[in-house]
Amino acid sequence: MADFDFDDSPEAGLKGSLGKDFFWGYATAAPQIEGAWSTAGKGPSTWDTLAHTPGRVVDGSTADDACRSYDFFRDDVALMKRYGVTAYRFSLSWSRIIPLGGKDDAVNEAGVGFYSDLIDELLKAGITPFVTLFHWDVPQALEERYKSMLDPGRYIPDFVRYARVCFERFGDRVGHWITYNEPGVYALAGYAGGAHAPNRSSDRAKYSEGDTSTEPWIVGHTQLLSHAQVYRMYKEEFAPTQHGTIGITLSGNWSAPYDASSPADIAAAQRALEFEIAWFADPVFGPGDYPASMRAQLGARLPTFSPAEKKLVNGSSDFYGMNTYTAFFVRDAVPPGQPIPPEDHKGNLAWSDTNSEGVSRGAESDTEWLRTSPWGFAALLRWIWARYHTPIFVTENGTTARGEHVSAPPGDDVLNDVHRIDFYRAYVGELARAVKEDGVDIRSYFGWTLLDNWEWAKGYTDRFGVTWVDFESEEKTRYPKRSATFMREYFGHLIAR
């Protein structure tokens, strides 16, 4: 008997609204779950360096063990099969495959073997692999050699060679590739705010190197050019025989005007979407250049594309990879006519949890910035579809929930994660409505995430998983939450049989 009955619910009319070939499952990232950070030939990444630098992670933790998925990946695949998923999105660790990272550096066969075994295990379980080449962990050797993405002339050949190795070794079994995960977050959190690797920022009270006014835009440009080169290489050399698809995943939350009747606030909301999303999406999916609002604020600090680079980048993705979590109300931070500080990297915006009428953006989670905002998700799906008219793969979406930081074993009050169930029910329902009612072409949904994990600079203080993990146990014991059952049955209702 099913735990959830959707036939007599507000979602009854959505039954079968998603196609039979719709992919659903969970997403993860190598640095957050694998552990085995220095074993079997793996080289250090910039995130290994950050984690071992005192004061960089809020709880003082490292990802040395994380969830130990390197050791227990077969158990994780069995868990996903039990959860009923049809696809799994995971990332490869560049420094596990090429420890020193460079185009002339040696390949680590043990690392290749690990991912090959994982892919085989997924296929044996009937789960389709979606593979991300880069989820924020640059080999530390490249950072030391030439500051990685700040030197595109040296970085791009190294990244292209890494991608080639992956296509050669795994492309016979992998048909869905993502080049970069959230290039905007990587550029801003690592080179503007500085809290993420490689810890660069103009804030000298916290960071010894960096220039917030210029470096994020250089890094973003480098990611676009290297993504496009990898895309073209795959389409020309590998797709004819491997018949796969390849694209890029962009981050972006919905921004709404603080005062819906204010022209300035309406303009601020549009500018927010352009600085966060169109920064990468316009060059790839749109007119082929950065948004005019970015050029107007940043001027010459924003790199320019040559005609050949525009042609290379434009159209360089088979789908729109979409990571999104919440929504905000926005307005101008600096009033019109006043100078915007050169360190501003968000588009001169101020964010609010409520709008001018006191309406909240949504229920609070266990993470300060994240509130349940399905209304924003619905609006964003339609905005992206209308602006770019490209098939959408939702590659990350999820939430934390309060009360999950307890000792093992977790009780029923923790495992019955009502807040997360409510979140998924609302968001996935809006996805199904966008497909059914407005014809938005959406082809996947990956929840973030399979396991509670190491959430970057937040360490183990954020639990996003549909599986509770006992980080104090040697085996990192897994406990399924009720949201995993909910998702299995919900997609069983929504996907056509």
Task: For 90-124, write each residue's pLDDT tens digit.
Answer: 999 999 999 999 999 999 999 999 999 999 999 99
Cα–Cα distance for residue pair 310/303, rounded to 1 Å:
12
Q: Is residue 396 flagged as an active site residue?
A: yes
Handedness of CA 478, 481, 485, 491 (dihedral sign): negative
pLDDT of residue 440: 98
3-state secondary structure 17-31: CECCCCEEEEECCHH
Mean pLDDT over the full length of the chain: 98
Nearest to 27 by CA among 446, 424, 323: 446
Cα–Cα distance for residue pair 97/94, rounded to 1 Å:
5
Cα–Cα distance for residue pair 287/89, rounded to 1 Å:
29
- What is the C-alpha end-to-end distance of the chain, expressed in Å? 19
pLDDT of residue 2: 61
Task: For 200-243, write each residue's pLDDT tens digit.
Answer: 999 999 999 999 999 999 999 999 999 999 999 999 999 999 99
- Mean pLDDT on 41-65: 98
CATH code assigned to 12-494? 3.20.20.80
DSSP letters, 161-212, are HHHHHHHHHHTTT--EEEEEE-HHHHHHHHHTS--STT---S-TTT-SS--T
Residues 6+ apart with CB under 8 A from 31: 45, 47, 48, 63, 66, 93, 135, 136, 137, 454, 456
DSSP letters, 258-287, are SSTT-HHHHHHHHHHHIIIIIHHHHHHHSS
pLDDT of residue 365: 98
Identity of residue 17: S
pTM score: 0.98
In the predicted structure, residue 475 carries a pLDDT above the cut 60: yes
pLDDT of residue 471: 98
Q: Which of 11, 34, 143, 182 is catalytic?
A: 182
In the predicted structure, residue 371 carries a pLDDT above the cut 70: yes
In the predicted structure, residue 364 carries a pLDDT above the cut 80: yes
Q: By the 8 A CB rule, do 387 and 320 touch? A: no
In the predicted structure, residue 480 carries a pLDDT above the cut 80: yes
Query: How many C-beta atoms surround the C-beta of residue 62 within 10 A?
Result: 18
In the predicted structure, residue 393 carries a pLDDT above the cut 60: yes
Cα–Cα distance for residue pair 151/52, rounded to 1 Å:
25
DSSP letters, 456-473, are GGGTTS----SEEE-TTS
In the predicted structure, residue 295 carries a pLDDT above the cut 80: yes
Burial 95-127 (b: 16+ CB within 10 A, else e): bbbbbbbbeebebbeebbebbeebbebbeeeeb
- Mean pLDDT on 389-402: 98
Q: Which of 11, 34, 396, 430 is catalytic?
A: 396
pLDDT of residue 1: 37
Burial of 308 (0-12, 13-18, 19+ CB in 10 A): exposed
- Mean pLDDT on 404-420: 98
Cα–Cα distance for residue pair 385/481, rounded to 1 Å:
33
- Mean pLDDT on 317-322: 98
pLDDT of residue 3: 83
pLDDT of residue 186: 98
- Mean pLDDT on 56-67: 98
